[in-house]
């Protein structure tokens, strides 16, 4: 499946980025909505911010109108295809 949590966090961040882009939401718009800096938002998407609060994930899912379980499922599928 996946080697460790870092790999999963990176894949999760990539899925979040794909959702944001597919909805034509800029990185800055997403960051403003979360009340974080664009740099922190980029770190979430790049998987370099490894301790993302669960509440942040829920808020992003709500903002992107995606179910958390759907996001996790997409992440697992993307990892399994590697």
**Long-range contacts: 76-80, Cβ < 8 Å, 24+?**
76/1, 78/11, 78/14, 78/15, 79/1, 79/2, 79/7, 79/8, 79/11, 80/1
pTM recorded for the entire structure: 0.87
The pLDDT value recorded for residue 1 is: 43
Per residue in 9-43, pLDDT tens? 889 999 999 999 999 999 999 999 999 999 999 99
């Amino acid at each position: 499946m996946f080697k460790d949590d870092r790999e999963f966090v990176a894949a999760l961040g990539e899925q979040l980025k794909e959702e944001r882009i597919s909805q034509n939401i800029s990185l800055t718009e997403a960051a403003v909505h979360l009340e974080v800096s664009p740099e922190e938002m980029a770190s979430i998407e790049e998987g370099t911010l490894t301790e993302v609060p669960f509440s942040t994930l829920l808020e992003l899912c709500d903002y992107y109108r995606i179910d958390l379980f759907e996001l996790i499922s997409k992440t697992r599928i993307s990892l399994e295809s590697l």
